[in-house]
Amino acid sequence: MLSVKDTIQGEHLKTGDTVRGIIDAVNPASKGPSIVLSRTSTNFLVELFKMEVPEISGNIVIIKDVVREPGERTKIAVFSKDQSIDPVGACVGMKGTRVQTIVRELRGERIDIINWSADPRVYIARALTPADVDKIGINEEDKTAMVVVDDSQLSVAIGKKGQNVKLAMKLTGWDIDIISETRYSKIRQEKSLDDLFQEKVRDNARESAKGLPKEPAKGATTVVAKGATRAPARDPAEGSATTPGKESTKESELHEKQGSVGKFPGKEGGTKK
């Protein structure tokens, strides 16, 4: 049994017509099981490729992902186990004979065949075929992507009623946002102006901070008695503080008491003049 909802949009079948379909379900009934056929199922498309492409039936070329809007458009990602075999070329066939046979069976349904890739950027760009992609930015955590295309390619990338981008999102499993090159340039310009403004704010804050008085370290206090001067640096070699060209106060007092210049106590072999 082939119901109307399981037929391709736009096709008109008559009783006695020979058509291909895939068994979608088997429903038991009192008069015997009822076999339900489908021409809109994704599996039906896969089986058609297996029939037309020996490399797929031979398990050399693998169908990785398939998404379909019956009667409208299909996107299929393929991968080859043998590097010497082009998976897309194998599916298309000589002068497109293989894929054209499938297109005729599906009443003119458009089919985009792409090379599968583990790199999400490459895979997303290919999934948006026939549009040409200029730039792609991705967020792997959220599985979101922003795609930049030339202004002339924007409508192609989105597709009629958003069909192309919707199928690309289903095929890759990523949420894709498409913008034109003009809008992208405007966003970059606005972002640059905002960055310049923020940098100016930071510069002004640094300039203002230079004029602020420095606060003493917490828990540290310096007290200087009136009339006292800061002691000169102590010379580690001599063990005493000295001022070049001048005698210390204690030395002068000792000289006055001794009445003459002689050996300085504790300094063997040295004299002060």
pLDDT digits (tens, 9 = 90+) for 209-252: 766 555 544 444 434 444 444 444 444 444 444 444 444 444 44
Q: Could you tell me the CATH number of the domain that includes residue 177?
A: 3.30.300.20
Q: Which residue range(s) make up the domain with 142?
A: 117-203
pLDDT (tens digit per residue) in 32-47: 888 888 999 999 999 9
First to last CA, the chain: 128
Instruction: Give me the pLDDT at residue 49, please.
Output: 97
Q: What is the pTM of this model?
A: 0.67
Question: Is 128 part of a structural domain of the chain?
Answer: yes
Question: Is 231 part of a structural domain of the chain?
Answer: no
Question: Is 164 part of a structural domain of the chain?
Answer: yes
Question: Is 189 part of a structural domain of the chain?
Answer: yes
Other Cβ atoms closer than 10 A to 256: 8
The total domain count for the chain is: 1
Question: Is 83 part of a structural domain of the chain?
Answer: no
Compute the distance between CA of residue 247 and CA of residue 231 in angstroms, rounded to an integer.
14
pLDDT (tens digit per residue) in 192-211: 666 666 766 677 777 777 66
Question: Is 149 part of a structural domain of the chain?
Answer: yes
Q: How far is CA 1 from the centre of its chain?
A: 48
Question: Is 174 part of a structural domain of the chain?
Answer: yes
- Indicate if the alpha-carbon torsion angle 118, 124, 130, 134 is positive or negative: negative
SS3 161: helix
**Cα radius of gyration rounded to whole Å, the chain:** 43
Tokens representing 257 are 């008491």
C-beta of residue 42 within 8 angstroms of C-beta of residue 75: no
